[in-house]
Structure formats: structure tokens, C-alpha cells
Homo-oligomer: A and B are copies of this chain.
């Protein structure tokens, strides 16, 4: 989740859509809001089910297409994953991830130290442009650990 206020999020959404010549439609807005308010890093299907409550006739395809559009203009990102459906990440600020190997849950955390990590010099040639970095931990979450 993005930690700014709902109103500020909406302003940002509108501004960035405008800047990219994307119309501010109720569906598009609802899809963005659903993604931002989702607890866990939601799949297209998670968002589809949420938005369907408000727009019963919306199709999965519209939701998925819209999520990809929002990713293109960087209002969302795609979280790294190991299996299953694509997971969207509404947190576009610098942050890091802890994955549960059992249930697939992804938990965000922040770290000024981790934010500062730089790509190694020896890759400067092979990768002339580097946009982002993330530290990813893998473990077992409390819930899954208790269940055995």
C-alpha cells in the first residue's frame, strides 16, 4: 500500500492519468482504488472480484487490461513472484519484500540501508541502465509456521 492519504492518492491518480492522456473513468478509478486499498499484493482476479461489487458488469479483461495500463504509467508495479498469477504492487515507493514460501504472502518493509544498495561496477557494461532495486527475503510466516 501507498501510505499517503486517500485524497492525495486520488489527486496523484488523476494527475498521472491526465499527463498520459488517459481518461478518468469511474471503472479505471475504482480499479486503482481497489489496488491501493488491497491488503495483500493483489492479483488481477482479486481486483476483479472487489471491483465487481461496485460494477457488476465489469469484465475480467477490462480489469486486467486496466491494471496493465496503470503499470505502464507507473501508478502500480508488478511484484516479483515464484508461481501463480501476476501480483500487482500499489506501493511505488522504495521498499522491500518478505515472501512466505508456504502461502505466498508478500509483506512490505522499508529500509534506508537497503534503499542505498548500488548495482556492482562489473555489470555497468552489460546493464547500462538500472532503474530500481529490491531486497527479497524468503521464509515462513507466523501463520504458516503455527499450522506446521
Residues of A whose CB lies within 8 Å of any CB of B are 78, 80-83, 86, 98, 100-101, 107, 109, 111, 114, 117, 119-120, 122-123, 125-142, 145
Contacts and interface: CB of A to CB of B under 8 A. Distances in A.
A111 B81 CA distance: 22
Contacts of A114: 117
Copies in the complex: 2
B107 A128 contact: no
Contacts of A83: 78, 86
Nearest to A145: B128
Contacts of A139: 119, 127-131
A91 to B, nearest CB: 15
Nearest to A138: B132
A132 B126 contact: no
A103 to B, nearest CB: 12
Contacts of A101: 131
Given A82-B80, A119-B98, A127 B133 contact: no
Contacts of A133: 135-138
A10 to B, nearest CB: 27
Contact of A98 (B81, B127, B138): B127
Contacts of A120: 109, 111
Contacts of A78: 82-83
